[in-house]
Structure 1
Amino acid sequence: MRHCLLLALPLALFSPSFLAAQKQDPKALELLEHARQMTLATAKGLPAYKLEASFETFDEKGVSDGVGTLVQTALPDGHRRQTVTYRGRTLDSMWFNTVHRVADKEYEETLVLRSMLNALTNTLPSQAELLKRNVQIGTENSGLKMDCAVVSIPPHDEGKKHSATQRHEFCMDATNGMLRMVVVQGGGLVLNRFRKLGSAYVPGDVQITQDGVKRAGLTVNHFATDPTLTVADFELARTNGKADTSRIIVDTDTVLEKTQPTYPPSAVWSSQRGTVAMKAIIGTDGLVKDVNVVSSPSALLADSASEAVRQWRYEPYLVDSEPIEVEASVSVNYAIGR
């Protein structure tokens, strides 16, 4: 039996690049780490809490294409549960040592939606990710008093491939240190109206724009301690005594080996850019058995993305200790650097 697995990649973009030495500024690293420790996902010693939010997403023309709600609860021992309802379909996630997610068959998670939801808990790169990236002090001309850190992957040039993740500029409040803005080519993420619980700061308002168009907006309606929560509140829905595996969603850390897509030179010269959406069949051994392109800005980018994904190797997904074959939705976004 094949199961559907939705793999939500963060806003990581692939762009042409050139030789450059890896550089890391200690002050920039300190800014990022301080901001990370203030996020809901990382803050220590938090009491049991409940967070409720409502959100809306928009298409590339700024027209509403979906509304939803989010409910997140957590216990001091590390149990955390998040229930997202979007376009009438539900995704239920539970974290405790491992991640287990169950969703309706028709639930669809876009890159914009995932980026918006991540902004509530933590959208900053991990320390492990930063080890392989350039990290430098940046400047932001928004008129607000912020300290910014620019994060990018050092270009790889072995005479064969050119690939790199797009430059991200993370801007922190110069007074309190929490993340206020993420700037990427053509758009970004803005966080406002922060709410504080213990040592954690949560944005009460999240806005995402791309190419001058609003793509998503989220408002936190409730965020407070909830002493009534117990471990029983963190059991996912079950069918016949087993977790419902009709649609299983896991994080990108299940990719053990990832080949970076190559940006075709002719696609760069002709300014071809955008997102390639694919369906990949992952075998019980974790190898990609097949890739089907769902949509792409061009045939060149479709070939580049699918060729790379075919070489990926995943950690086999287990149900009742047995590996199962799954279908993954993978999106790769191409952008031409400036």
Structure 2
Amino acid sequence: MPILRAVDPVRMAWFRGRRGVVLSLLLLTASVWGKEKPEDQARTLLKSAAERSLLNADSKFPFSLTATFALYGLSAKRLDGKYDWLVNSEGDWAKHLSFADYTDLQIGRGSSLQIKRSIQFQPIQAAIVQNAFSNPLYVDQAGEVVERFFMTSENHVKLRCADLLRGKSRRTICIDPGKNVRTIAFKSSRIIYEYSDYQPAGRKFVPHRITAKRGSTTLLEVSVDKIALDSELDPRLPDTPEGAIQRSGCLAPSLPTLKHSEVPGFPTSAPIANYQAQVIFYALIGTDGTVRNPVVTQTGGESLDSSALEVVRHWQYEPAKCGDTPVEFETEVPVNFIMQVREEHFGWPR
């Protein structure tokens, strides 16, 4: 027979009171989280993802990486290449990119930048590779408006995503449950960068696989083959090569913002097949915000190229800055022709 014992009413009241306090704290926490604005939730998440990523390139966490890559669909055949990136504890850095007969070396020392290329501009293939590594520098970027914060699912993985607007430039960043950047999609270029196979690198994490796609077409596949940290890291920058271009700059200047644009006219000579076409320019945004030295890197046909080039020269930007100092900034400028001309544009660093 079970033994029945009297329950001390004072002790029972104490337990009930303690349970009530715990329950109240839980409800208060849920209430506070629930009241946090979606924009604030998005910014908190983006900041966490940036702080977690080695590719955010913080000089407090110096590193070097070596990657190999393959480019598809942008030339007559597949192009294989190599990418090296060094960031040392002084905040100085170097990037070296090579494929086929193209080479691109960029060296940043303090507020100066030296560039040596095999040609005078960056072809679209090189820009796509450079962007794959530069995009993570701008995950938590000041000056952007959070248009939407939402949940989605990809391959049974729940992602939290933010639609971000800067001027007329739009991109969408999706973060996985581990607070790693999974995808960065650009509306204007219609390119989606995917980051996967994250592995620890000291106190940070780095994706060992990066792909870039336009629709269902794969443009780029990257494999990060080696990461060097701490005692394995050689912090020395390469010597500045003879004939290098000298500019002022930094590793992650603020992005330029378009202030004035003109819409190109749809040329009457354009064939009907060009009702949907895209022209992409390489351009240098000057310290005064003007578009300098535009070069067609993806053609939409001679008549569309000419029409787009005529107006792009007159666009005006708020220039990129390192701190408060305006600096020159390389970017791609896509101009989309869809039945009636519609221009879109974005600026992302090399």
Which bracket does the TM-score occupy, shorter chain normalised? 0.5 to 0.7
Q: 1:29 to 1:296 in 2, by over 3 A?
A: same
Matched, 1:149 2:149: no
3-state DSSP of counterpart to 1:72? strand
Separation in structure 2 between the aligned mates of residue 295 and residue 115 of structure 1, nearest angstrom: 12
State how many pairs are aligned. Answer: 286
Q: Which amino acid aligns with 2:174?
A: C
CA positional deviation for 1:249: 10
Q: 1:68 to 1:236 in 2, by over 3 A?
A: same
Q: 1:254 to 1:142 in 2, by over 3 A?
A: closer
CA positional deviation for 1:80: 2.1
Matches within 5 A, 1:192-211: 192-211=196-215
Name the residue aligned to 1:27: 41
Whether contact under 8 Å (2:148, 2:162) holds in the other structure is yes
Name the residue aligned to 2:226: 222
Matched, 1:272 2:276: yes
3-state DSSP of counterpart to 1:275? strand
Structure 2 alignment gaps of length 5 or more = 1-36, 320-327, 343-350
Q: 1:64 to 1:195 in 2, by over 3 A?
A: farther
Q: Which amino acid aligns with 1:36?
A: A
Whether contact under 8 Å (1:258, 1:313) holds in the other structure is yes
Separation in structure 2 between the aligned mates of residue 278 and residue 116 of structure 1, nearest angstrom: 14
3-state DSSP of counterpart to 2:276? coil
Name which structure has the greater RCO, CA cutoff 8 Å, separation 6+: 1
Separation in structure 1 between the aligned mates of residue 61 and residue 255 of structure 2, nearest angstrom: 33
Q: CA RMSD in A?
A: 4.3
CA positional deviation for 1:246: 5.7
Matches within 5 A, 1:15-164: 25-42=39-56, 44=58, 46-59=60-73, 64-98=77-111, 100-106=113-119, 109-111=122-124, 113-120=126-133, 122=136, 124-130=138-144, 133-153=145-165, 164=168
Separation in structure 2 between the aligned mates of residue 294 and residue 111 of structure 1, nearest angstrom: 6
Which is helix-richer, 1 or 2? Answer: 2
Q: 1:48 to 1:227 in 2, by over 3 A?
A: farther
Kindly provide the CA deviation profile for residues 48-67 of structure 1, in whole angstroms up to 9, marking residues without a partner as x.
43311101111258x64422
Whether contact under 8 Å (1:171, 1:182) holds in the other structure is yes
Q: 1:109 to 1:45 in 2, by over 3 A?
A: closer
Whether contact under 8 Å (1:115, 1:123) holds in the other structure is no
Whether contact under 8 Å (2:260, 2:316) holds in the other structure is no
Q: Which amino acid aligns with 1:172?
A: I
Whether contact under 8 Å (1:74, 1:80) holds in the other structure is yes
Name the residue aligned to 1:170: 173
Kindly provide the CA deviation profile for residues 230-264 of structure 1, in whole angstroms up to 9, marking residues without a partner as x.
66x2143343xxxx336979789599784554445
Aligned partner of 1:234 among 233, 237, 240: 237
Q: TM-score, normalised by structure 1?
A: 0.66
Q: 1:262 to 1:100 in 2, by over 3 A?
A: same
CA positional deviation for 1:331: 3.5
